[in-house]
Amino acid sequence: MIEKLQNNKIEISNQIHAVFQLSYAIEAKLLDTTDFPPLKRPLESYLKSDNVFFGYFESTELAGVIEIEFADKYIDINSLVVNPKFFRRGIARKLLEFIFNKFDFKLFIVETGVNNKPANELYKKLGFKEIKQWDTDFGIRKILFERRA
């Protein structure tokens, strides 16, 4: 089940933060880095964020989270994370498809590390096209994708 998360509530932000930490620890390994800014994101940033969070629940456990930001003419997918114990169950795909179906936007953008093969493959399967690549100040090569309706 997918539902909107009330990230301004401490107990919900704690759950969101926990899933982000577990998922991003795996992504840091995929990207072969120890300096990974998403792992440094404090709990307070979830509590105070104006972004919209949706969660995928397995029974009562938060298994995945998508964080989106509304721009003028597109949706920016800021984060898409899945608790590693729920990997390979299609949760990330379900969260993305939920966003595509729920919001009437013609353009969706997302970025990830070039070496995050599972994410790159998923985005390509769902119709995202590579726009550009660049190197970050913290040594990670990133890729920007967009999906036009």
| pLDDT tens profile 49-91 | 999 999 999 999 999 999 999 999 999 999 999 999 999 999 9
Count: domains in the chain? 1
> What is the per-residue pLDDT across 3-25, written as a single tens digit (0 to 9) for each?
999 999 999 999 999 999 999 99
CB neighbours of residue 32 within 10 Å: 10
Overall size of the chain counted in residues: 149
| Identity of the residue numbered 140 | I
Question: For residue 149, what pLDDT band results from cuts at 50, 70 and 90?
Answer: confident
| Lowest mean per-residue pLDDT among 6-10, 28-32, 41-45, 48-52 | 28-32
pLDDT at 34: 85
CA distance linking residue 18 with residue 41, whole number of Å: 11
pLDDT score at 80: 98
Distance CA 32, CA 44 (A): 27
Distance CA 36, CA 28 (A): 6
User: pTM here?
Assistant: 0.95
CATH of the domain at 130: 3.40.630.30
Residues 6+ apart with CB under 8 A from 68: 51, 52, 53, 54, 75, 76, 77, 78, 99
pLDDT at 138: 85
* Lowest model confidence (mean pLDDT) among 11-15, 24-28, 137-141: 137-141
The span from the CA of 98 to the CA of 126, in Å, is 12
Residues 78, 69: contact at Cβ < 8 Å?
Answer: yes
Q: What residues make up the domain containing 94?
A: 2-148
DSSP string, 45-93: HHHT--SEEEEEEETTEEEEEEEEEE-SSSEEEEEEEE-GGGTTSSHHH
User: 34 or 66: whose pLDDT is higher?
Assistant: 66
Give pLDDT tens digits for 97-115.
999 999 999 999 999 999 9
